[in-house]
Structure 1
C-alpha cells in the first residue's frame, strides 16, 4: 500500500512532465506520418517492393525470428534506455531526451503511415501485427524513462546547485532502479518480437498475398 501510494504521488508530482513527453511523442508520430507524403513515387515503389517481397518470403514458409532477433531487438531497446539514462545524469541532456522521444514518434508514425498509405488495409493489418503490439509496451516504458531522467536532472539542478541540499544517492538509486526495471520489461518485449510476432505475421501473410493477387 505504501509503495502504491508513493507511485501515485510520484505520478501526480510529475504529471506535467508526463503530459509534455506524451504530447511530444504524439507530435513525432504525426510528423512521421506526414513525412510519407514527402517521398517520391520511386521511393514509395521501392519500399513497397521490399515489403511485398518480405510478405512473399514469409508466406513461402521461410523462418525468421528466434534467438538472433531476440538479442538484436533487446539490444536496440537497451540502447534507447541507456542513452536516456545517461542523458538524465548529464543535466544538459534534457533537450536530447525530448529529441529522442520525438524521433521515436517519427519512426513509428512514418512506418505505420507508409504501410497504411501505400498498402491500404493490407498495410493496416501488417502494422497491427508487426508494429502495434510491442509498441503498446515500448512507448510507455520510454515515456517513463524519459520522465524519470528529466525529474532526476531537475532534482540535481534544484537540490545540488541551487538549494544545495538533499541527498543525491537515494535518488540516483531509485532512478537507476527504474531504468533497470524498464530494461527488464523491454526484454520481455524482445521475447515477444522474437517468438510471438513472427507467428502473428505468418498468420496474416496468406491474407495479404491473396489480396495482392
Structure 2
C-alpha cells in the first residue's frame, strides 16, 4: 500500500513539475556547453598554465599519503553548501533565477573539467574524466536537479499562496516536509561524496 502511495506521489510530482525538470536540465546542459567552449577558446598560454598546475597537483598528490578525513571534509564543503543554498532559495519568493544560475554553474564546472582533461592530457585525460569526474557526478547531477525543482516548486507555491492571501496556512508542516526531502537528497549525495573521497584519489594515482 505504501509503495503504491509513493509511486503515485512521485508520478504526480513528475507530471506537475515536468517543465521545471526540463528547465533545470536545459540550464545544466547550457553550463556544460559553455564549459566546453571556454576550454576550446582559451589561449595557448592559459591552457599551458592550467596544465602545468594540474600536472604539479597530480605529482604532489601522487607523492604523499592521502588524508581521507581531510579530503572527505573538503569534498563535503565543496558540494553540500550548494544544496543548502538551493534549499534556502526555495524558501524565498525570488530564488528561482538564482537556482537556475547555480544549475548553469554546476554544468559549467563539469563541462570545463572534462573538456580540459581530454583536451590537455589526451588519452590519459579521457580516462581521468571517465573514472574520476563522471562517476560521482552521476550521483550529484540528479540530486542537484531534483533539489532545484523542489526548491522552485516550493517558491512558486509560496508566490501563489501569497497572491491568494493564504501564505501562512500550514506553512510549518510544508517547510518541514520540504526540508526532510532535502535531508534525503543530501544522504543520497554521500554516495558520490564517498566515491570522490575514497576511490577517485586512487584512480588519479593509478592513471598518473
Verify same fold: TM over 0.5: yes
TM-score, normalised with respect to structure 1? 0.89
Q: In 1, Cα distance between the equivalents of 2:171 and 2:134? A: 38
Aligned length: 204
1: CA distance between counterparts of 2:61 and 2:79?
25
Mapped to 1, the partners of 2:203 and 2:119 lie a distance apart of 22
Which residue matches 1:201? 204
5 Å matches for 1:96-175?
96-162=98-164, 164=166, 167-175=170-178
Deviations 1:12-49 (A, max 9, x none): 21111001100110011001110112322111111111
Runs (4 or more) in structure 1 with deviation over 3 Å come to: 54-59
Indicate if the aligned counterparts of 2:36 and 2:115 stay in contact, CA closer than 8 A: yes
TM-score (norm: length of structure 2): 0.90
Cα distance in 2 between the residues matched to 1:175 and 1:160: 18
Show structure 2 runs of 5+ residues with no match.
none
Mapped to 2, the partners of 1:82 and 1:104 lie a distance apart of 14
- Displacement, 1:57? 4.0
Deviations 1:114-158 (A, max 9, x none): 111122222111111221110000011000110000000011111
Q: In the aligned structure 2, how far is the partner of 1:79 from the partner of 1:107? A: 16
- 1:5-84 aligned at under 5 Å gives the runs 5-59=8-62, 61-84=63-86
Q: CA RMSD in A?
A: 1.7
In the alignment, structure 1 segments of 5+ residues that lack a partner are: 206-213
CA deviation after TM superposition for structure 1 residue 65, in Å: 5.0
Deviation at 1:187, TM superposition (A): 2.5
